Structure 1
Amino acid sequence: MRIFYLTSPAFVLSCILGLSALTAHAGDRLLATGGVSQIEGAGGGGLTPWALIAGYGTDDQIGGSAFYTHARTQDAFELNTGGVAVGFYNRIELSVSQTKFELGNTIPHESIRLNTLGIKLRLFGDAIYEQDSWVPQVAVGALIKHNEDFDFVPQLIGAKDATGVDYYLAASKLYLDALFGRNIILGTTLIATKANQFGLLGFGGDLRDDYQIKPSYSAAVMLTDNLLLGLEYRYKPDNLSAFNENDAKDVFVTWFPHKRLSITAAAVDLGDVADKTNQTAWYLSGQFSY
């Protein structure tokens, strides 16, 4: 059963129009402090959630974002993700997304869909305004995922479940005028997960079917007033004997032609994906924020 469809440009456009109607009193945080949209829908980097709450809403505002991401590897795997996130009073973030993963020449003309519902709660700290404190902003979150095509490929290669939950603890900090007068953002996220390839190949496997805590690291610097350069590294579990799974890493550049609009381009190293080794990819992502 298909639960929802998010990966069309028309859906994202309708979300942008809907979000635009709410922007009259939102959007007072600094540029880029909601992060970009992570591939599972949460506010963060491209690969990993950050402690920052999506959008530009302050403690008495509601903010949010809508995004669409396209990625393609050299062996014709394609990933399309769309979704929205809403941040309430810089405290709680709710997100929803869907990823469609085209299987390329591994299984021509076939794809896998992954639905993700996310929730994030800022526990303490303020990554932006508490510049006189070393304490980062800290948040906890959960990404509830359901693989619609579990019995197609994931189950056949040994995955145990179609549905799984990633739990995470994230710490992020913005440092103003920190590097040659430029702002930098640093973050660490610990993710408790059983997901295979983020859940695209199901959850758990014949090698392991228990939660593992995997760290992720992020760093980004504002090269100019509207250009962000960053990198990420995300450790991943290896649960399936059928296919090896490697860590993921990327280098990204985000351009902000307007505070509410960002365009991100990235080079991604995914390692082995299914039966293909050494998969590198590029991705392009657009985001509207308020």
Structure 2
Amino acid sequence: MKQLSTAIALSAAALCSGALADTGKLLLTGGVSSIDGAAGGGLTPWATIGTNATEGEMGVSAHVSRATVTDYQLSTMGVAFAFNDRVEVSLARQDFNASPVTALNGLGFAVQDGQRIKMDVLGLKVKVAGDAVLNSDSWMPQVAVGVEQKTVDAGSITPVLDFLGAKTSGTDFYVSATKLFLANSLLVNGTLRYTSANQNGLVGFGSKDPGTNNASWVPEISVAYLLSKNIAIGAEYRAKPNNLRAFGMANGLGEGLQEDAWKDVFVAWAPNKHSSITLAYLDLGRILPGVTSSRNQSGYYLSAQFAF
């Protein structure tokens, strides 16, 4: 994981040198950086290929973000590389403050105070059909397929994942379709994700019986409206597989391992073609309600992206 952080830092430095794509796309039509590193909304990838690179160019982007909700905080940083406006490779590091999980120490665990969960995400996305801008006057969407390899370092929480039967690595596959109605300043994206991740992977992957250990398809939806050429507002919905619920019910935890869908409303501002800032209100439902008194996890998300 130290090597990944170094790679992200070096890539960000290379980005600042500026010897990359200089033509660029229409502002905000490529999306921003998701928490997993791929271009799209904050919570979900789109079929668009990130950075400012168009056909025949190479581009790079870097982002940092912070999400703060009722009981938890998540910081992310990452870089993405784009080739020929068709292939995108992304790297992201997530740092999750899991302090409330010390409540499990009453069950015999030894979670350290202030324990953080760190997850590395290596992503690959390939555009396979359509073009969001060039096909904006037809019903043909841009379509892309992607894969995200996730590896978790849970520290002193690892014995909890072992108890749940959750693995510390997993692979998500997804297909996204993005339709830009340029004349109406409207973008709609639908993503289907094949995943076994619990809380996006921060609580591992899969579950012991009678929980769900196999991956399943879950939907993700984004809608964005361009108020002007450099300001967009929108909303996202990301369904979750809820693998651990049955295991919790069978082991006397009630709804203590319930996982809810994630939702947000956002505003994104691009002051120029090389930068954007996204602010969102988050509603993440219950995250491990057994250790947070079933409180709804709502709050804000702030992200900055630089792209060439």
TM-score, with length taken from structure 1: 0.91
The residue number in structure 2 matching 1:261 is 275
Task: Say which is worse superposed, 249-258 or 272-281, in terms of deviation.
Answer: 272-281
**CA spacing shift, 1:31–1:129, aligned 2, 3 Å:** same
The residue number in structure 2 matching 1:161 is 167
Q: Take 1:115 and 1:208, find their aligned partners in 2: how far apart are those partners? A: 23
SS in structure 1 opposite 2:200?
Answer: helix
Give, in angstroms, the shift of residue 217 of structure 1: 0.5
Q: Take 1:106 and 1:60, find their aligned partners in 2: how far apart are those partners? A: 48
Between Structure 1 and Structure 2, the one with more helix by share is 2
The residue number in structure 1 matching 2:73 is 78
SS in structure 2 opposite 1:130?
Answer: coil
The answer to whether the Cα contact below 8 Å between 2:41 and 2:222 also exists between their aligned partners in 1 is: yes
Structure 2: gaps of 5 or more residues: 103-112, 249-256
| Residue 123 (1) aligns with residue 137 (2) | no
SS in structure 2 opposite 1:155?
Answer: helix
The answer to whether the Cα contact below 8 Å between 1:33 and 1:56 also exists between their aligned partners in 2 is: no
Give, in angstroms, the shift of residue 247 of structure 1: 0.6
Q: Which runs of structure 2 are paired with 1:266-285 in the superposition (5 Å)? A: 266-274=280-288, 275-276=291-292, 277=294, 278-285=296-303
Give, in angstroms, the shift of residue 24 of structure 1: 4.8
Aligned partner (choices 119, 143, 149) of residue 144 of structure 1: 149
Give, in angstroms, the shift of residue 202 of structure 1: 0.3
Q: Which amino acid aligns with 1:124?
A: A
Aligned partner (choices 272, 284, 287) of residue 305 of structure 2: 287
The answer to whether the Cα contact below 8 Å between 2:115 and 2:155 also exists between their aligned partners in 1 is: no
RMSD over aligned CA atoms reads: 1.9
- Alignment deviations for residues 120-169 of structure 1 (CA, whole Å, 9 cap, x no partner): 00001000112332110000000000012277245245043111000000
SS in structure 2 opposite 1:195?
Answer: coil
Aligned partner (choices 191, 201, 204) of residue 202 of structure 1: 204
The answer to whether the Cα contact below 8 Å between 1:238 and 1:244 also exists between their aligned partners in 2 is: yes
Structure 1: gaps of 5 or more residues: none
Q: Take 2:222 and 2:98, find their aligned partners in 1: how far apart are those partners? A: 28
TM-score, with length taken from structure 2: 0.86
The answer to whether the Cα contact below 8 Å between 1:27 and 1:55 also exists between their aligned partners in 2 is: no
Q: Take 2:303 and 2:84, find their aligned partners in 1: how far apart are those partners? A: 26
Q: Percent identity?
A: 38
Aligned partner (choices 221, 227, 230) of residue 226 of structure 1: 230
Q: Take 2:21 and 2:304, find their aligned partners in 1: how far apart are those partners? A: 23
- Alignment deviations for residues 228-267 of structure 1 (CA, whole Å, 9 cap, x no partner): 1010001001111331100101011111112111111111
Q: How many corresponding residue pairs?
A: 281
